[in-house]
């Protein structure tokens, strides 16, 4: 049975793009940027670039403390957009996460030591000290970095 003109038109107008909310910046260095979830703008990306769209948002990387980290073979450089899966709240050892420490957003590699303590590590060309988390600290995981959308290089 052939599709009606109305159905054909509707399916041809469906966009293969999604708008991901950009909720601010996250430090790739010491946690100094205040974490607010105000939508600053939207990043339009092909839906083919994302494994899912539910619970997804973006933050802009600020700093160089994660410039050796790789997500899908892409490094995290200052100004890049990081795609965060906010449904991923129980990170595995060595995941790269968006964490909130004393209301400051930061991107780091999550390490859980054998004693249960948490260390947030940089993957950088420079030496940045780790952040050690005590169980009584105001700290939580806001999601896992699942992709990097590189800042365009203008020559």
The residues that are catalytic are 65, 108
From residue 72, give the alpha-carbon distance in Å to each of 14, 46, 76: 28, 16, 11
Inter-residue contact 96 to 145 (CB < 8 Å): yes
Burial class (CB in 10 A: 0-12, 13-18, 19+), 119: middle
Closest among 30, 88, 82, 38 to 60, alpha carbons compared: 82
What is the rounded CA–CA span in Å between residue 120 and residue 34? 18
């Amino acid at each position: 049975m052939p599709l009606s003109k109305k159905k054909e038109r509707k399916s041809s107008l469906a966009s293969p793009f999604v708008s991901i909310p950009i909720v601010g910046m996250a430090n790739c260095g010491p946690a100094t940027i205040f974490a607010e979830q105000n939508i600053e703008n939207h990043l339009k990306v092909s839906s083919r670039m994302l494994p899912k769209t539910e619970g997804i948002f973006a933050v802009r990387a600020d700093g160089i403390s994660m410039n050796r980290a790789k997500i899908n073979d892409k490094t995290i450089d200052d100004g890049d957009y990081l795609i965060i899966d906010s449904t991923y709240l129980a990170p595995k050892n060595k995941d790269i996460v968006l964490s909130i420490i004393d209301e400051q957003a930061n991107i780091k590699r999550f390490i859980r030591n054998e004693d249960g303590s948490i260390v947030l590590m940089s993957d950088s060309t420079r030496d940045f000290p780790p952040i050690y988390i005590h169980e009584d600290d105001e700290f939580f995981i806001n999601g896992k970095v699942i992709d990097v959308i590189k800042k365009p290089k203008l020559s």
